[in-house]
């Protein structure tokens, strides 16, 4: 009969060998998985993926048709505060007397990609190594890949190099979206496809519409007060912007086209 200390020694050796093997085979994956799950709890949008809108109706309230640069769109509000509306480069900050505001940035196709790589926040190889060359076809395909990536993308059977890359992508996902809400929706119109960041039913302070076409991109960053006398921005209000947004025939300053 084996002595107790021999049994204890055998168990200890087994545990040490098992732990060493686990760390060798799955240590990196486990570390990156733990980091990204923690990031997902701290920044909930990291754990979200795009889903379809449940309400496709468009607000019919009287409003205004606005134009800036090569963008035209409608809002279901008629209270633009022209005196406090400002233009900086390719972006216009449009303020409304209700306290709402829209920061509209208009740019060429692949604007996000060019800025991302120009500032060296990421290298193209990070994405092509994980998703393939087609991911850099457009800003839309790149953003879709980023938004589709969640902590569950990393498993014990993910290679350590891929796990490291996915962790970097999720860090970009955490810091890039200009929103205070975790919801992501697919949106599309006759001219654009893209994403809506934010669920209006929760009245977030910030929401965003990212619209992409073959040769131009619009990004609408909307702000509203969390509470107040004025009604919250609704999904149908956002649908009005999405479905009426189109490329104008020529560059223009901020204009109200009634």
Question: What DSSP designation does 80 have?
Answer: B
For the segment 81-110, the average pLDDT, to the nearest whole number, is 91
User: First CA to last CA across the chain, in angstroms?
Assistant: 96
Q: Residue 7: what pLDDT?
A: 60
For the segment 27-48, the average pLDDT, to the nearest whole number, is 75
Q: Residue 207: what pLDDT?
A: 96
Instruction: Give the separation between CA 29 and CA 41, rounded to whole angstroms.
Output: 18
Share of the chain above pLDDT 90, in %: 54
Q: Residue 22: what pLDDT?
A: 37
Q: Residue 195: what pLDDT?
A: 98
Q: Residue 41: what pLDDT?
A: 83
| pLDDT exceeds 80 at position 19 | no
| pLDDT exceeds 60 at position 21 | no
200-247 pLDDT tens trace: 999 999 999 999 999 999 999 999 976 667 789 999 999 999 999 999
3-class SS of residue 96? strand
3-class SS of residue 74? strand
| pLDDT exceeds 60 at position 52 | yes
| pLDDT exceeds 60 at position 25 | no
Q: For the whole model, what pTM was predicted?
A: 0.85
Q: Residue 238: what pLDDT?
A: 98
Q: Residue 12: what pLDDT?
A: 56
Question: What DSSP designation does 135 have?
Answer: G
Please, what is the average pLDDT of the chain?
85
Angle subtended at Cα 177 by Cα 245 and Cα 113, rounded to the nearest 5 degrees: 75
Q: Residue 160: what pLDDT?
A: 81
Instruction: Count CB atoms within 10 A of the CB of residue 230.
Output: 15
**H-helix or E-strand spanning residue 84:** none
Angle subtended at Cα 132 by Cα 198 and Cα 146, rounded to the nearest 5 degrees: 15
Query: Which residue ranges form the domains of the chain, and what is each CATH number?
Result: 52-110+180-257 (3.40.1000)
* Sheet with 216-223, edge to edge strand ranges: 51-52, 184-188, 193-197, 206-212, 216-223, 101-108, 91-95, 86-88
Q: Residue 159: what pLDDT?
A: 80
Q: Which tokens hold the place of 28?
A: 């990196």
Positive or negative, the CA dihedral 132, 133, 136, 140 is: negative
| pLDDT exceeds 90 at position 40 | no
For the segment 245-258, the average pLDDT, to the nearest whole number, is 67
| pLDDT exceeds 50 at position 32 | yes
For the segment 87-115, the average pLDDT, to the nearest whole number, is 91
């Amino acid at each position: 009969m084996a002595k107790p200390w021999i049994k204890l020694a055998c168990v200890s050796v087994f545990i040490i060998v098992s732990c060493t093997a686990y760390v060798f085979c799955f240590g990196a994956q486990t570390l990156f998985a733990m980091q990204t799950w923690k990031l997902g709890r701290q920044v909930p949008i990291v754990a979200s993926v795009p889903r379809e809108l449940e309400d496709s109706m468009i607000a019919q309230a009287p409003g205004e048709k606005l134009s800036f640069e090569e963008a035209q769109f409608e809002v279901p509000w008629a209270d633009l505060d022209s005196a406090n509306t400002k233009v900086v480069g390719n972006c216009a900050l449009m303020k409304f007397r209700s306290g709402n505001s829209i920061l509209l940035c208009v740019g060429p196709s692949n604007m996000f990609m060019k800025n991302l790589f120009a500032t060296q926040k990421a290298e193209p190889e990070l994405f092509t190594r994980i998703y393939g060359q087609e991911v850099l076809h457009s800003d839309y395909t790149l953003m879709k890949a980023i938004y589709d990536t969640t902590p569950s993308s990393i498993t014990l059977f993910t290679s350590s190099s891929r796990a490291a890359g996915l962790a970097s992508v999720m860090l970009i996902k955490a810091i890039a979206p200009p929103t205070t809400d975790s919801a992501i929706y697919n949106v599309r119109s006759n001219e654009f496809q893209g994403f809506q960041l934010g669920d209006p039913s929760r009245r977030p302070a910030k929401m965003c519409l990212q619209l992409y076409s073959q040769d131009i991109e619009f990004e609408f960053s909307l702000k509203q007060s969390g509470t107040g006398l004025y009604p919250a921005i609704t999904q149908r209000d956002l649908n009005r912007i999405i479905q009426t947004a189109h490329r104008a025939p020529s560059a223009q300053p901020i204009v109200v086209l009634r």
